Amino acid sequence: MVHAFIDEKAMQAVSIQLYRHSEDVLSHWQMSDAHINNVSAHCTVERLEVYGSPSAAVAAGLAPFLRDGRGFIMPPLTGFSRF
């Protein structure tokens, strides 16, 4: 699931993306890589919040955001999940 919110006056946008697991994230990145590069030419990621336990491959892809302080990963509460 992907949902985007755009405030044109403030020139800000928020994208909320929900994935079942890390493999879906990697597939999305592979499919959208060329498009994201075009978008990145016109915008800057200010904050990246990841909720869950991403795989090593996903964490490696997020590393630039984690290193410079724009991103964080918050692991889930162990033993509690409701759908």
Residues 6+ apart with CB under 8 A from 22: 54, 55, 57, 58
Q: Record the pTM.
A: 0.82
Query: Where do the domains of the chain lie?
Result: 2-74
Each residue of 16-57: pLDDT tens digit? 999 999 999 999 999 998 888 888 888 899 999 999 999 999
